[in-house]
Chains A and B, each alone.
Chain A
């Protein structure tokens, strides 16, 4: 399914993209254009290929067929550091070396901006300080990452990606592990970054968050894109039923008017205790 109209100047596009692990094809002939300046959210059931798509879009997986275009050019043709100055990625799972401090971890986001003989500059320092402040982890700067809570850790990882200072940010499930307040905080942070002109692409599992925060939704199923567009028109009861196999109703979010997915009550009644 290729849509005929493509937003102009899309910073990140896929054309006829196919991705495979060894011999197994996960994504086949996929077309996609991330609208410039958008907050694009990818939704879809487990194992449908969201992380795979994100990794391919970031140039981490080679395209088995088709291309990924970064700023209009084949992503495979960029030198590694060049890509990293345009696009930052937070993968679904990242490991932190034991004993590393928050400030050190965030500083590693500056790799693409460093030279062999100029390892640390004023700009590097400013970028790290900004990233720590934006994610509200400045107070933790000297703490060890492995001694933080899951939510604090997640914000530190986001800070590391922010320190890379790329106009395009890709995040794979950035709100996993966070309590509801911190989920909203991270989403607000992404919203702010988006407001400052950065294009954000995130995989989210919470459809209601997706509906509230995204300007553009991409719904995936079995490695294909099944719906694309603003939340109001894409997140419908039919789509959720089709993609997730979940009976549901969609109502209007009382605060924002965006779609709000309410699962149908499919509980089986408890068996009535016999013999009484």
Chain B
């Protein structure tokens, strides 16, 4: 038996090794591949301080910030999905269930329609505000009547309020054609033109969200055994749930703010991680962080070269990759390991 357990540990080590190798490859490709046909050698030269003025601009102002954005968005969505699935104890939950995306989209639509906001940085702040607004609303309504808001109440409230805001957003964009055009670009989910000015402000939010997720993971492990067991093991169930909610808001909110609503990443990534790494939330959070970043970066690189000379938004690519995986998941009978 100890032999079997060490075997398992070795397998997990190999998993993280492979995932990190994939991550490094994805980062390298994201810096090297692009619409602008720079030679890989020239890119490498530029990264280490050389290069022409043009290649310096492409690499330092466009590709590296865009890669950082992909890393942050992918890690954030992967972990937000893992937290939502643990929080709701539903293996098919995704960060959008709490309505965070819908809230972000609504406030972005309001900004575009009534205040003429057009820059990605403007969208970032609007989306963050929307995510926060919606979480507070869901929490306030979910715990109305003086009763503690459990996962089920919060999720149902989130779905309901999210639907209302999605409807409002649709109504708004349908009645304002030029806003509709700009929303269309944002809501496909894209990393195009995400420069340092867009990535930098949300980076601290993502880091805090990831730290909270890791902090909550051991408690979520116990909560998976039932609230009574968790409490008698010394877990402050309320506190862990609040921290989890806060982390989901920070992570899903900032990811949506940077890239628009990306579907499937938060749903599929934690699932694949659970198949391969088991049920420990600490490992699931870490694994989802790495795999989420790999998926988003790979999808973004694919989108850059799939339909040259134009680009396919990363959100469309993740949907193409995610949909088949989702169908396989649903068809598998034991798709539910939590």
Contact = CB atoms under 8 A, between A and B. Distances in A.
Tell whether A and B belong to one assembly: yes
Given A98-B337, A116-B215, A138-B1, A60 B234 contact: no
Interface stretch (A101-109, A205-213, A223-231): A101-109
A142 B1 contact: yes
Given A89-B228, A98-B334, A104 B5 contact: no
Nearest to A81: B234
Contact of A60 (B1, B218, B231): B231
Identify the interface centre among B225, B236, B337: most chain A CB within 10 Å of its CB: B225
A50 to B, nearest CB: 14
B222 A108 contact: yes
A219 interface: no
B221 A60 contact: no
Interface string A102-130: 01110011011010100100000000000
B215 A94 contact: no
Nearest to A101: B278
Interface in B183-215: 215
Given A89-B228, A94-B225, A138-B1, A112 B233 contact: yes
Contacts of A103: 5
Interface in A62-107: 80-85, 87-89, 91, 93-101, 103-105
B5 A141 contact: yes
A111 B234 contact: yes
B280 interface: yes
B39 interface: no
Given A97-B337, A104-B279, A111 B218 contact: yes
A116 B279 CA distance: 19
Contacts of A81: 234
Contact of B234 (A85, A91, A96, A138): A85
A58 interface: yes
B233 A109 contact: yes
A108 B4 contact: no
A104 B284 CA distance: 14
Contacts of B282: 119
A210 to B, nearest CB: 23
A55 interface: yes
Contacts of B5: 103, 141-142
Nearest to B229: A94
A141 B1 CA distance: 7
B215 A80 contact: no
A80 B236 contact: yes
A142 B338 CA distance: 17
B224 interface: yes
B9 to A, nearest CB: 11
Contacts of B218: 111, 114, 116, 119
Given A101-B278, A104-B280, A95 B225 contact: yes
A108 B234 contact: no
A164 B228 contact: no
Contacts of B4: 141-142
Contacts of A265: none
Contact of B336 (A60, A98, A141): A98
Nearest to A89: B232
Nearest to A114: B218
A94 B227 CA distance: 9
A58 B224 contact: no
- Of listed B229, B236, B282, residue having the most chain A CB within 10 A: B229
B224 A97 contact: yes
Interface string A34-60: 000000000000000000000100111
A88 B337 contact: no
Contact of A139 (B1, B224, B236, B279): B1
B92 interface: no
Interface centre among A85, A100, A105, A116 (most CB of B within 10 A): A100
Contacts of A139: 1
A109 B228 CA distance: 13
Given A93-B226, A111-B222, A142-B8, A100 B232 contact: no
B228 A60 contact: yes
Given A100-B278, A141-B1, A164 B226 contact: no
A81 B231 CA distance: 9
Contact of A84 (B215, B224, B233): B233
B20 interface: no
Nearest to B335: A98
B221 A108 contact: yes
A4 to B, nearest CB: 32
A38 to B, nearest CB: 20
B313 to A, nearest CB: 35
22 contacts: A58-B232, A59-B231, A81-B234, A83-B232, A91-B229, A94-B225, A94-B228, A94-B229, A95-B226, A99-B274, A99-B278, A100-B278, A101-B278, A108-B222, A108-B233, A109-B233, A111-B219, A111-B222, A112-B233, A116-B215, A141-B4, A142-B4
Given A91-B232, A98-B337, A111-B235, 8 more contacts: A59-B231, A85-B234, A93-B226, A94-B225, A97-B279, A99-B278, A100-B278, A142-B4
Interface of A: 55, 58-60, 80-85, 87-89, 91, 93-101, 103-105, 108-109, 111-112, 114, 116, 119, 138-139, 141-142, 164
Interface of B: 1, 4-5, 8, 215, 218-219, 221-222, 224-226, 228-229, 231-236, 274, 278-280, 282, 334, 336-338
Closest 8 A-B residue pairs measured CB to CB?
A: A84-B234, A112-B234, A99-B337, A89-B232, A81-B234, A91-B228, A111-B233, A142-B4
